[in-house]
């Protein structure tokens, strides 16, 4: 499979209180960032000459839609100059609805972006206020309409559910959000249960008993509500948090992470993964320094801004293959797992598989194990049990 390229745009107009991704609210270094990004491309292209042809470019962040269309075009031009890029490359740009106009969206399309990932999060103003988002529901609706009107044929929308309040979010509220989003028929949906990340303002508020989160049982019900509604609406629930209107709209870029294909990350805090082979035999992962100024300083000195790197041993790879595989509709292919790790999962974990099957959480065929949609709701716990028994 071809490698993917991720570009972390480290700017946000202001921080959302639940978010722990790296970004800066000060945009004065935007030009310096764009210039240094070209230097990083040159250094990476030199370091990984055998990476192969990239067939995805993903602008994530942060808020990539704070870039001007001409700046996105400039970055894509530099990507073409430094790397081999497939003709049918999927170019995704994350859009925060509070930062774009219809003209800007049209400009992104003209610049070469062919897929938008729109951070809708909710179509309910009270929920958006709770999440501290920049935009309101009307702005999100306008962006969904404008993206279609200017010709984007591949739209993904993000939804956050399981938010807090005087009580946890109700099933009716989540249903109303999902139904409202469905009316825009996005080709792809990423639906995430809100998690309280340590160190974020929302986590601190919750520790002060400012609001209630849905308990585990309620979270399970909300997960099923989202999954059932979208599945009944014709979507494939192809990964724990991801839905596609048809197999052709499965996120090509994210599939690279799930299938442990080589991905290169550029920009502060970006991660890269080398799947092995070439001049660097062992699979490895590296990550850039999560600080814009330090990242700029490294590149000014002509050094790659890599803060850490680790080689993945057999055990780590096996853990990831099981974790990532069971989070996907395809599950874990038993023969493939045996070929890679010389482990017959059925002989080692057959008893546990039987229990999970009886509980309606897993299905087993002669060639694969898969979680059911009910199993998806508790995927992390299942993987943990399997890993402990492995």
In the complex, the residues that contact ligand SF4 under the rule CB under 6 A are 12, 15-16, 19, 21, 23, 61-63, 96, 119
Is residue 39 left, alpha or beta, with left meaning phi > 0 and alpha meaning psi from -120 to 50?
Answer: alpha
Q: Which is nearer to ligand SF4, 121 or 251 (CB)?
A: 121
Q: What is the CA radius of gyration of the chain?
A: 21
Q: Which is nearer to ligand SF4, 23 or 262 (CB)?
A: 23
CB of 204 to ligand SF4, least distance (A): 16
The residues, any chain, with a CB within 8 Å of residue 338's CB and separated by 6 or more, are 344, 345
Tally DSSP H helices, then E strands, for the chain: 15, 15
Q: Which is nearer to ligand SF4, 15 or 373 (CB)?
A: 15
* Rounded Cα distance, 147 and 158, in Å: 15
- SS (HEC) of 85-111: EEEEEEEEEEECHHHCCHHHHHHHHHH
CB of 17 to ligand SF4, least distance (A): 9
CB of 221 to ligand SF4, least distance (A): 25
Q: Which is nearer to ligand SF4, 115 or 237 (CB)?
A: 115
The residues, any chain, with a CB within 8 Å of residue 213's CB and separated by 6 or more, are 162, 164, 168, 194, 196, 206
The kind and range of the H/E element at 172 are helix 171-182
Residue position matching structure tokens 């935007």? 30
Q: Which is nearer to ligand SF4, 12 or 48 (CB)?
A: 12
* Rounded Cα distance, 127 and 136, in Å: 9
CB of 72 to ligand SF4, least distance (A): 17
CB of 16 to ligand SF4, least distance (A): 3
CB of 60 to ligand SF4, least distance (A): 8
Q: Which is nearer to ligand SF4, 4 or 62 (CB)?
A: 62
């Amino acid at each position: 499979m071809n490698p993917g390229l991720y570009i972390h745009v480290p700017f946000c107009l202001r921080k959302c209180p639940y978010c722990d991704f790296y970004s800066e609210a000060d945009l004065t270094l935007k030009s310096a960032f764009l210039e240094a990004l070209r230097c990083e491309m040159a250094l990476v292209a030199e370091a990984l000459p055998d990476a192969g042809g990239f067939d995805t470019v993903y602008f994530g962040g942060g808020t990539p839609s704070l870039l001007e269309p001409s700046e996105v075009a400039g970055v894509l031009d530099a990507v073409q100059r430094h790397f081999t890029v497939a003709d049918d490359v999927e170019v995704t740009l994350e859009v925060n609805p509070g930062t774009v106009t219809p003209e800007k969206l049209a400009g992104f399309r003209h610049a070469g972006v062919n897929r938008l990932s729109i951070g809708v999060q909710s179509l309910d103003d009270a929920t958006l206020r709770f999440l501290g988002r920049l935009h309101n529901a009307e702005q999100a609706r306008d962006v969904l309409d404008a993206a279609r009107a200017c010709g984007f044929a591949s739209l993904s929308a993000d939804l956050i559910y399981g938010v807090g309040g005087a009580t946890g979010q109700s099933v009716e509220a989540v249903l109303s959000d999902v139904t409202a989003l469905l009316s825009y028929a996005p080709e792809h949906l990423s639906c995430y249960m809100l998690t309280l990340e340590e160190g974020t303002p929302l986590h601190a508020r919750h520790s002060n008993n400012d609001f209630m989160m849905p308990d585990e049982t309620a979270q399970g019900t909300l997960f099923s509500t989202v999954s059932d509604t979208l599945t009944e609406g014709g979507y494939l629930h192809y990964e724990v948090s991801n839905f596609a209107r048809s197999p052709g709209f499965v996120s090509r870029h994210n599939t690279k992470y799930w299938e442990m294909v080589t991905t290169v990350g550029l920009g502060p805090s970006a991660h890269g993964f080398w799947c092995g082979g070439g001049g660097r035999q062992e699979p490895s992962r590296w990550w850039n320094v999560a600080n814009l100024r330090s990242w700029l300083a490294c590149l000014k000195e002509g050094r790659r801004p890599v803060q850490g790197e680790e080689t993945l041993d057999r055990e780590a790879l096996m853990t990831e293959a099981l974790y990532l595989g069971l989070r996907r509709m395809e599950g874990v292919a038993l023969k493939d797992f045996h070929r890679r790790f010389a482990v017959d999962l059925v002989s080692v974990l057959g008893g546990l598989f039987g229990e999970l099957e009886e509980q309606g959480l897993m299905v087993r065929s002669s060639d694969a194990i898969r979680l059911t949609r009910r199993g998806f709701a508790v995927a992390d716990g299942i993987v943990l049990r399997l890993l402990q028994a492995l």
